[in-house]
């Protein structure tokens, strides 16, 4: 019987492939865009109902009712727009910055009703947006990249 000598397997190059980084960025951006698009689609058909539900949710806070209604009116179209823009990768940096600010608004609202679970979940979105913004230079699969706008 022959003896088979086993050598340690060579480790792959630890450097990250630019192609993989670009693909990971595009897929993460696409996933976040799908998430926001889904939120927008399900709410856009009943904006008054959504805003009314928010009004009731915030009625015991110090926030003025008309302001809560206004925010409730703009959330569905904002989510729809952010979703479409992220999926397409169109005006990516402004969209990511706007998304971070939007999530800050939602986090602030969640803290005002003392819903710490939702506030914590919003921080995951903030981290996701920030990660995409920090890695935006890896963007190769978007309308911005196709039009050479950075």
pTM of the model: 0.85
- How many CB atoms within 10 Å of residue 13? 7
- Residue 7 inside a domain? The answer is no
Instruction: Quickly state the pLDDT bin for 15 (edges 50, 70, 90).
Output: confident
Lowest mean pLDDT, pick from 23-37, 57-71, 74-88, 133-147: 133-147
| Closest C-alpha to 36, from 142, 125, 138, 124 | 125
pLDDT at 59 over 90: yes
Structural domain total, the chain:
1
- Residue 4 inside a domain? The answer is no
pLDDT at 147 over 90: no
- Residue 10 inside a domain? The answer is no
Domain span at residue 22? 18-146
pLDDT at 7 over 80: no
CA distance 129 to 35: 12
């Amino acid at each position: 019987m022959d003896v088979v000598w086993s050598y340690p397997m060579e480790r792959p190059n630890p450097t990250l492939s630019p192609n993989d980084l670009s693909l990971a960025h595009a897929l993460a951006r696409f996933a976040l865009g799908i998430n926001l698009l889904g939120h927008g689609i399900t709410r856009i058909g009943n904006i008054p109902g959504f805003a009314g539900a928010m009004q009731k949710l915030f009625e015991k806070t110090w926030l003025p009712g008309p302001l809560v209604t206004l925010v409730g009116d703009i959330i569905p179209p904002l989510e729809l727009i952010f979703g479409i823009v992220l999926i397409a990768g169109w005006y990516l940096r402004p969209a990511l910055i706007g998304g971070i600010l939007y999530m800050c608004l939602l986090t602030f609202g969640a803290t005002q009703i003392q819903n710490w679970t939702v506030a914590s979940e919003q921080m995951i979105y903030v981290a996701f947006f920030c990660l995409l913004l920090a890695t935006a230079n890896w963007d190769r699969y978007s309308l911005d990249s196709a039009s050479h706008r950075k």
